Amino acid sequence: MAKFEGTYREFKTHCMASITNKVQSIAKKEKEKRNYICENCNKNMSKDKLNYQAAHYPDSRIKIVEEILEKYKLNDIILCDLNKVQKEFIEIHTPITNVCKFVCKTCHKLEFK
């Protein structure tokens, strides 16, 4: 069991990437299923897949993680089982369409930032 003890800033620095990578693999499957069509402007991004993005809504990815970690926080220190936090993060993203829209980079910048 992998444990984490530290501040939220330390969690972001040392743990956020691995949690984000898990969700990116879920998002990749959904992008393929949607044929790389922007949900906002209907632009076909199949020739520019790097600019087809999963945009979190209504809350940001950071806010979702903050809410999960809040229950593991005592004063300003977080003490948690990393596997459990990762599982909770993935559960929130299942199905991923509950928390993400699939849009081109331009729409992501305009609509979701």
Is the pTM higher than 0.75? The answer reads yes
Which has the higher per-residue pLDDT, 22 or 13?
13
The answer to whether residue 113 scores a pLDDT higher than 80 is no
Q: Mention every residue, 6+ apart, whose C-beta is less than 8 A from residue 31.
A: 49, 52, 54, 102
pLDDT tens for 53-94 read 999 888 788 899 999 999 999 999 999 999 999 999 999 999
| Cβ-contact 100, 56 below 8 angstroms | yes
pLDDT tens for 37-52 read 999 999 999 999 999 9
